[in-house]
Amino acid sequence: MSYRGRAASILGDAGVGDLIRVRKDGAIYDGVLMPRTELGDEEHIVLKLKNGYNIGIGTSGAEVEVVQKGAPREIKRGATIPADPTKPQVTILGTGGTIASRVDYRTGAVHPSFTAQELLTAVPELAGLADIRTRAICNILSENMTPSHWTEIARACADELNRGAVGVVIAHGTDTMAYTATALSFMLQDLWKPVVLVGSQRSSDRPSSDASLNLVSAVRAACSDLGEVTVVMHGSSSDDRCLVHRGTKVRKMHSSRRDAFRSINTLPLGEVTERGIRPLSEYKRRKDGVEVKVDARLEERVALLKISPGMGQELLERAVDTHQGIVLEGTGLGHVPEYLLKPIARAREEEKPVVMTTQTLYGRVDMKVYSTGRELLTSGVISGGTMLPEVAYVKLMCALGRAKSYEEAKSLMETDLVGEMGPSIGTDTFLV
């Protein structure tokens, strides 16, 4: 619906979908002009701010300036881009998320909507980089991902790489992207080619979307000399660079910023440039001609519990009753209130591994410093070292799926399998 009355007169030639700046009472509001909804009448206009929220602004005393004329990016439904066998083949697996979503300009809500093929039409420069093939796995928001989706994605990656793709890009929601990246890191065996997860914080049809730089960079990474599972996302809040993160060391650290993804306890692997990857730390290099396999054995009955002061003992008791392994997000160096030692000791008796990680995320677990930590070690708690809580969670599913005994599962948890346990390199990388 378009604006009428006083709203229309202050908008001048600003149209719905344009990025505009509104000055009012000394404040400045930048955002995309939304159509007239219940928030916008003849006296108000509706803006979608950078943080994703819609606000209604009264027109009295307001001045409007058009910052960027931009109708929403047009994504053609059902469109396809022809194959180009003269270029290296990269397969984009579509799983959904904001990157494959469309903003509903009536309500401002975002829905998964586009296929990977349709996404291509929004970023035509991709076709100049590689022979892009696409394959749909699902079209869901990533909060709905399950371990069976991880298995399906892992099988599709192996399949594509063994059938000639130089790399695979997975378009994925950002919320749980790091879990999927971790699962693929453990499930894909003999992987020596790039598997790159990518997403966006703004839907692809929005003029301000980060999708196009992220996708172009992900395809560049998929053609590069990387030989492992990575996440490629914006490396700054402007549209100038993307960083490559190891799949088991990355975390979404902001709910809305473009550069929400950070390597934790380590440097990113590299920066994506037009020439490929500019390395920032050591990574596994591509080797061609090796067949990728999938180890899909997973024990899904694993719980991830955050320790909080005064939390009920029955919560942990119940988790021990109903799960085969537990990851704790302890306080500080890896601590829990004393009364939780009882259910932890029972888990050990029942041969159910309990792995300690830290809710500080940065730094490592060290249970030898305080008496509570020492008691935890005596009760049989396994140290997760520098592993992120969610990495330990997915790894414990894999370890329990593969191991035939408690000891074997413990030893897998204590072994660095794919770079997930790298040393914490100190405060200089804190929040880099």
Q: Which residues bind ligand ASP (CB under 6 A)?
A: 97-98, 141-143, 173-175, 199, 201
CB closer to ligand ASP out of 89 and 200: 200
Task: In whole angstroms, give the CA distance from residue 406 to residue 88.
Answer: 45
CB closer to ligand ASP out of 206 and 352: 206
DSSP 168-192: EEEE--STTHHHHHHHHHHHEES--
Minimum Å gap between C-beta 68 and ligand ASP is 22
CB closer to ligand ASP out of 97 and 270: 97
Residue tagged active-site, from 252, 266, 352, 372: 252
- Among candidate residues 367, 364, 363, the one with its CA nearest the CA of residue 354: 367
CB closer to ligand ASP out of 56 and 72: 72
Residue tagged active-site, from 59, 95, 174, 266: 174
Residue 225: active-site member = no
Minimum Å gap between C-beta 154 and ligand ASP is 19
Helices 389-402 and 406-413 meet at what angle, rounded to 10? 140
Q: Mapping DSSP to helix (H, G, I), strand (E, B) and coil, where does residue 276 land?
A: strand
Q: Mapping DSSP to helix (H, G, I), strand (E, B) and coil, where does residue 418 land?
A: coil
Query: At CA 16, angle to CA 41 and CA 257, rounded to 5?
Result: 105
Q: Which residue has the CB atom at the shortest distance from ligand ASP?
A: 173
Residue 293: active-site member = no
Residue tagged active-site, from 98, 180, 248, 266: 98
Q: CB atoms < 10 A from the CB of 402, how many?
A: 15
Residue 68 in tokens? 């960027």
Mode of pairing for the β-strands spanning 276-279 and 270-273: antiparallel
CB closer to ligand ASP out of 144 and 238: 144
Minimum Å gap between C-beta 98 and ligand ASP is 3
CB closer to ligand ASP out of 234 and 335: 234
- H or E segment and range at residue 159: helix 147-162
Task: In whole angstroms, give the CA distance from residue 75 to residue 68.
Answer: 19
Residue tagged active-site, from 41, 175, 225, 366: 175
- Among candidate residues 414, 327, 326, 338, the one with its CA nearest the CA of residue 370: 338
Residue 146: active-site member = no
Minimum Å gap between C-beta 141 and ligand ASP is 4
Q: In what order do the strands lie in the sheet with 19-24?
A: 54-58, 44-49, 27-34, 19-24, 63-68
Task: In whole angstroms, give the CA distance from residue 121 to residue 132.
Answer: 11
Minimum Å gap between C-beta 397 and ligand ASP is 20
Minimum Å gap between C-beta 230 and ligand ASP is 17
Residue 368: active-site member = no
Residue positions annotated with a catalytic role: 98, 174-175, 252
